[in-house]
Amino acid sequence: MKLITTGNNLCRIMVSDEYTELANILYELVERDQKYDKVVIVTDENVEVNLYDDFVKSIFSITNSKKFSKVCIKPGEESKCLETFNELISKFIDFGMSRKSLVIAFGGGVVGDLAGFAAATYMRGIDYIQVPTTILSQVDSAIGGKTGIDVGVYKNMIGAFKQPLFTYINTETLKTLPSDELKSGFGEIIKYAAIMDDDGEFEKFLYDNSVEVKCLDNEKIIKAIMKCAEFKARIVKADEKETGLRKILNFGHTFGHAMEMEYSLKHGEAVAIGMKIAFRVALAKGYIKKDYYDKFVELIDKYDFEFDFGKIDVERLVEIIKKDKKNSFGDISVILPDASSCVGIFKMSSDDIEAILKKEFNFM
Whether residue 250 lies in the annotated active site? yes
Whether residue 77 lies in the annotated active site? no
Marked catalytic residue, from 266, 267, 276, 280 = 267
Marked catalytic residue, from 253, 266, 276, 280 = 253
User: In this structure, are residues 190 and 150 in contact, taking their beta carbons and an 8 Å threshold?
Assistant: no
Q: Classify residue 214 as exposed, middle or buried by CB count within 10 Å of its CB (0-12, 13-18, 19+).
A: middle
Marked catalytic residue, from 48, 181, 188, 203 = 188
Marked catalytic residue, from 80, 250, 260, 354 = 250
Marked catalytic residue, from 232, 247, 266, 280 = 232
Whether residue 232 lies in the annotated active site? yes
- Calculate the alpha carbon distances from 165 to 44, 129, 133, 169, 319 in Å: 21, 5, 17, 13, 38
Whether residue 242 lies in the annotated active site? yes
3-state secondary structure of 34: coil
- Give 41's strand partners: 70, 104
Marked catalytic residue, from 12, 38, 146, 155 = 146
CA distance 57 to 254: 41
Whether residue 99 lies in the annotated active site? no
Whether residue 260 lies in the annotated active site? no
Across the chain, how many H-helices and E-strands are there? 15, 11
C-alpha 296: how far from chain center: 21
Whether residue 78 lies in the annotated active site? no
Whether residue 32 lies in the annotated active site? no
Marked catalytic residue, from 257, 266, 276, 280 = 257
CA distance 312 to 247: 26
Marked catalytic residue, from 2, 124, 175, 290 = 124
Q: Mutual orientation of helices 253-263 and 314-321 as an angle, nearest 10°? A: 120
Marked catalytic residue, from 230, 242, 262, 319 = 242
Catalytically active residues are 124, 146, 188, 232, 242, 246, 250, 253, 257, 267
